[in-house]
Amino acid sequence: MTEEFTIKLQWFDCGADEDPRWRYNRALYAYIAPLKAAIYYLGKCYGTTVRQRWNYDAKSDVWDCINERTKSHRPIIAEFELPTGMNLSKKLVDDIECLLIFRLQPPCNLQCKSSRGKYRRHGMKVVCVGKAWPLSERTFKDKD
C-alpha cells in the first residue's frame, strides 16, 4: 500500500516589482485571468527565478498563447508546505506541476496535459490554498 502525504501550496498575488517572491528560484507560478476563475498557464522554476520565467524570451510560445486569449493577466506564486522530513527536490516540483497541469488542463500548457509520463508520485495529495488561488477546485490527488 502506498503511503499518503499532503503538500500544501499557499498561493499569493505577485505584481509589485519589489515583491520578494519574484526572486524565488524554487516555485510554482501561474498566469491567471484578472477577473474570472481561469488559469492560462501553470509553470515551475527550479534554478531560475520567477522573474526570469516572466520574460517573453523565456517562454515566447506561452506568451503568444496567453495574448491570443487576453491582454490582461496576472501572476500568482505558490509557497510550498511540505510534510516533516520531506525535501523540495526538482523531481518533487516536477511531479506537483505535472499533477496540476494534468488535472486543470490550462490552455497554454503543452506537457502533462494528455499523459503524466514519468511525473507521478503515488499517494501525493496537493492542496491549493490562499486568496490568490482562483478556482473552486483546491485538492488534487495522484491516484495509483
Per-residue model confidence as pLDDT tens digits over 111-140: 888 877 776 788 899 999 999 999 999 999
End-to-end CA, the chain: 10
Q: What is the pLDDT of residues 47-86, one digit of tens each?
A: 999 988 887 676 788 889 998 988 888 899 999 999 999 9
CA distance 23 to 45: 10
User: Are the C-beta atoms of 5 and 123 separated by less than 8 Å?
Assistant: yes
The structural domain count of the chain equals: 1
Listed in sequence order, the DSSP H helices in the chain are: 50-54, 60-69, 90-104
Q: Which domain holds residue 114?
A: 5-141
Mean residue pLDDT across the chain = 90
Q: What is the pLDDT of residue 29?
A: 95
pLDDT tier for residue 36 given thresholds of 50, 70 and 90: confident
Nearest to 92 by CA among 78, 71, 104: 78
